[in-house]
Copies of this chain bind each other. A is one copy, B any other.
Amino acid sequence: MTFSLKALVLFLTLVPWFSLSQESISYADSFEVKSTVLNESRRYSVYLPPSYHNEGDKRYPVIFVLDGDRSRLLSISGVVEALSTSTLARQIDEFIIVAIPNTYRDRDLTPTATDLIFKGKELAKVNGSGGADQFIGFIKKELLPRIDKTFRTNGQNTLVGMSFGGLFAAHTLVTQPELFNNYLILDATYVWDNNYLNRMLRQSTYDFSTAKIKVYLALANNDHIGEHGEVNRKWGNDFITQLQSKSSENFMIYSQYFPKERHGTIEMLGWYNGFLKLFGSHG
């Protein structure tokens, strides 16, 4: 015991010497929460902006990122940090970013219990689908309050989703619009459940014109995958047109079509242009 303690003290004495020449650069923290709503343990990652620890009173808006894996957290943090610092002339405010990695993506991000079917043909099995409302419950009752309690937030929340994540964000916009102030919806799965999103929006009795909400929607060119790619864009455009018909000075809709981008390549241009549209002073 005496020897190992000696070794330990020696090691601890040496640590500052080592760290002089090599230091790990961290940019976010990962947290765990036991979710009662989902009855499982969930992790989430939090990026704090450069000024956070120097500005003791300042409160920050929050961006919530679906499909929040390592690469997506790093990429979105990079885009936001560049746009909000002198790197890109401080075109937007600084943000706290909360990324939510998946446990059961097919379950959490889809609003109804069905496979991915287009014109009667099954495009993909979607196991355990239809959990979006439960996942909204987790965000609303457990994650959002936790973030507001732990960090200096200002109550302005943005939801970012792509593909099934875009489907989830659009479903949240249609069914619980006031949960977020801003939505960034990138090439969502509009073919889901035979035009589900347009159907739900048409049925909605919510008065969008009075809600202070901004939405940015981007569509990719998926003609190369055939008819369901073309129809996904058509129904996406229908969804945008429906939203625009409800738009006002409060409810603002921005949309962009990227003819050179496919479903798999649209995200970074979507984030970059979307954040500038939603948050830029000369959007």
Q: Which residues of chain A have a CB within 8 Å of any CB of chain B?
A: 5, 8-9, 12, 20-32, 45, 50, 70-79, 81-83, 85-89, 91, 262, 264-265, 267-269, 272
Contact = CB atoms under 8 A, between A and B. Distances in A.
9 contacts: A8-B8, A21-B32, A25-B27, A25-B28, A25-B70, A26-B27, A74-B77, A75-B87, A83-B268
Contacts of A87: 71-72, 75, 267-268
Contact of A71 (B9, B23, B85): B85
B30 A268 contact: no
Contacts of A30: 22-25
Q: How many identical chains are in the complex? A: 2
A236 to B, nearest CB: 19
Main secondary structure of the interface of A (DSSP, over half): helix
B85 A81 contact: no
A268 B29 contact: no
B29 A88 contact: no
B79 A268 contact: yes
A24 B26 contact: yes
A267 B88 contact: yes
A273 to B, nearest CB: 10
**9 nearest interchain CB pairs?**
A78-B78, A89-B264, A75-B82, A26-B26, A75-B78, A24-B26, A25-B28, A23-B30, A71-B85
Contacts of A74: 27, 74, 77-78, 81-82
A147 to B, nearest CB: 14
